[in-house]
Amino acid sequence: MKLIYEKSVKGRRGLKLPAGDVPRAADLPTDLLREKPAGLPEVSEMDLVRHYTNLSRRNFSVDTNFYPLGSCTMKYNAKIIENTSALFAGSHPMTPLLPGGEAFTQGSLALLHGMGELLTEITGMDEVSCQPLAGAHGEMTGIMLIAAYHRAKGNRKKYVIVPDSSHGTNPASAAMVGYEIITIPSAPYGDMDLDAFRAAMNNEVAAVMMTCPNTLGLFNPHIKEICDIAHEHDALMYYDGANLNAILGKVRPGDVGFDVIHVNLHKTFGTPHGGGGPGSGPVGVKKALIPFLPTPRVIRKSDGAFALEKVNSRSIGRMANFFGNFGVMAKAYAYILMLGREGLIEVSEQAVLNANYMMAQLKDHFDLPYDKSCMHECVFSASRQLKHGVHAIDIAKYLIDRGYHPPTVYFPLNVKEAIMIEPTETESKETMDAFIAVMIEAAEMAEKNPEALHEAPLTMPVSRLDETKAAREQNVCFGPW
């Protein structure tokens, strides 16, 4: 499809602007003026609508396709939450920062405060800051809180421990806060190797970052022991909430011994993924870390009014322009209110049931490196298919031809030819059965007709793009103009 720039016709316009109701001002002096207008598209509204409508049709999405992308929790996003978040669209974030302004934004502040309280109860922490703008941003905020905690105590800490199955964001976030990383290998049973962890633990470790259940979909039975060992060395336990969808109402990280947690609202709490954001990554902490939370902090005064604590000398400071991705929070808040206590428990039960069903139905056809009950996702390996020259990516491309968004492939890194399937709770048995049938078909084709899998996908506008060329030529902007 042509680019919108290639559809431009000189002088063509989309939006009609209002006529000015004030006199024309004198021009800016020439040395401050642009030489020529920026080369933006010149299209009619009809051209514009057709262009992006047709572009959208070149996407798979949750609303059009089953999307079992492991670790991303691609559940259905209820339409009503769009309507509810739109109610707050006109609220200016500077208003509560004006003198007397908090009184004008009691609704928005109440929502933020309420969101924090709901997440506090869900995770078993003592307070939640909604400021972080995405999961990785929450991780960074959390590690900064941990650094502030250690600094205040006069602790000299240098390292952050992560398991080798962790999301890449974990070590990257810790490195951005200045820590060195110690990576612990996974044991044959699929969890962080407890002996290796014990051996690596020392008094210079600031934090241990864990995802539980981990990226293999396994709940670590030694998690309490790990927390205890870390605490003996005054290292804090960080909980990566990426997989929280598995344990709602079953386990609360705060009860287990975690000190800091981030939550991905766009995963567990049903807000749309938007093609890669916006996310939202609230951070929850135990009491000892509350003084360090980012400012401005939403508080409730003794008279019941909501207010902002703007300055706090012990706070790590400000992590975002304002109070976080409020629009995303408004959706997650609505999601939690709509489902309620029982609904959220059912979310995790159904998510775990669906993943185990998927695992049971496919394990005769694909290698299952860790053959035990999983939580919300299961990780297969295409190593059996590899004997016929078929890689995980070939199976992924075949699924596209059959109308399925592929599972996550080649992650986690500690599983060869990984195929990570997370059906989520919102998919029916019928949808999963149809997907399972196609997966089995792919496994059979790998043996009988591997070439056909190498050819896939055949039904898409493009097939097997040359990524090396893209990286070499670095053509990231259309030109010349």
Partner 1 sequence: MLAAIGVASVDALFAPIPAGLRARSFALPDGTSEQELLRQMKQLAGTDRPVTGFIGGGYYDHYIPAVVDHLSGRAEFYTAYTPYQPECSQGTLQALFEYQTAICRLTGMEVSNASLYDGGTALAEAAMMALRVTGRNRLVIDGSVNPFSREIVRTYLTNLGVEIVEIPARDCLADRPALTAALTDLTAAVILQNPNFFGSVEDLGDIALTAHANGALLIASVYPISLGLVKSPGAMGADIVVGDGQSLGNPLSFGGPSFGFIATTKKYIRNLPGRIIGETVDKNGRRGFVLTLQAREQHIKRHKATSNICSNQSLCALRGMIFLASVGKEGLVDLARLNRDKAEYAKGLLAKVKGVRLLNTANTFNEFTLVLPKDAAEVAERLLDKGVAAGVPLGAYYQGMDNCLVVTVTEKRTRDEIDALAKELEGAL
Residues numbered 296 to 335 that lie near partner 1 (CB under 8 A) are 310, 316-328, 330, 334
CA-to-CA distance for 192 and 161, rounded, in angstroms? 11
Check: CB of residue 242 under 8 Å from CB of residue 267. yes
CA-to-CA distance for 243 and 138, rounded, in angstroms? 14
Q: Check residue 200 for interaction with partner 1 (CB under 8 A).
A: no
Q: Shortest distance, CB of residue 250 to partner 1, whole angstroms?
A: 6
Stretch 435-454 residues interacting with partner 1 (CB under 8 A): none
Query: Which residue among 67, 197, 269, 435 contacts partner 1 (CB under 8 A)?
Result: 67
Check: CB of residue 206 under 8 Å from CB of residue 146. yes
Picking from 168, 174, 123, the residue whose alpha carbon sits closest to that of residue 146 is 174
Q: Check residue 189 for interaction with partner 1 (CB under 8 A).
A: no
Span interacting with partner 1, options 196-204, 247-255, 417-425, 445-453, rule CB under 8 A: 247-255
CA-to-CA distance for 265 and 279, rounded, in angstroms? 7
Residues in binding contact with partner 1, number by CB under 8 A: 199
Stretch 83-142 residues interacting with partner 1 (CB under 8 A): 83-85, 87-95, 97-101, 103-108, 110-112, 118, 121-122, 124, 133-137, 139-140
Query: Which residue among 125, 177, 332, 390 contacts partner 1 (CB under 8 A)?
Result: 177
Stretch 33-52 residues interacting with partner 1 (CB under 8 A): 33-35, 37-43, 45, 48-49, 51-52
CA distances, 171 to each of 179, 343, 448 (Å): 9, 34, 42
Check: CB of residue 377 under 8 Å from CB of residue 355. yes
Q: Between 429-448 and 326-362, two packed helices, what is the crossing angle to 10 degrees?
A: 60
Three-state SS at 233: coil
Picking from 242, 244, 299, 267, the residue whose alpha carbon sits closest to that of residue 122 is 244
Query: Which residue among 314, 341, 387, 416 contacts partner 1 (CB under 8 A)?
Result: 341
59 CB contacts (<8 Å, ≥6 apart)? Answer: 275
Q: Which is nearer to partner 1, 139 or 447 (CB)?
A: 139
Per-residue binder mask for partner 1 (CB under 8 A), 136-175, x = binder:
xx-xx---x--x-------------------xxx-xxxxx
Q: Check residue 428 for interaction with partner 1 (CB under 8 A).
A: no
Q: What does DSSP say about strands 205-211 and 127-129: parallel, antiparallel, or unpaired?
A: unpaired
The conformation of residue 133, written as its DSSP 8-state character, comes to -
Query: Which residue among 344, 421, 445, 453 contacts partner 1 (CB under 8 A)?
Result: 344
Q: Shortest distance, CB of residue 438 to partner 1, whole angstroms?
A: 15
CA-to-CA distance for 136 and 79, rounded, in angstroms? 26
Per-residue binder mask for partner 1 (CB under 8 A), 264-283, x = binder:
--x-----xxxxxxxxx---
Q: Which is nearer to partner 1, 117 or 447 (CB)?
A: 117
Q: Check residue 188 for interaction with partner 1 (CB under 8 A).
A: no
Picking from 93, 114, 144, the residue whose alpha carbon sits closest to that of residue 283 is 144
Q: Check residue 369 for interaction with partner 1 (CB under 8 A).
A: no
Q: Check residue 216 for interaction with partner 1 (CB under 8 A).
A: no
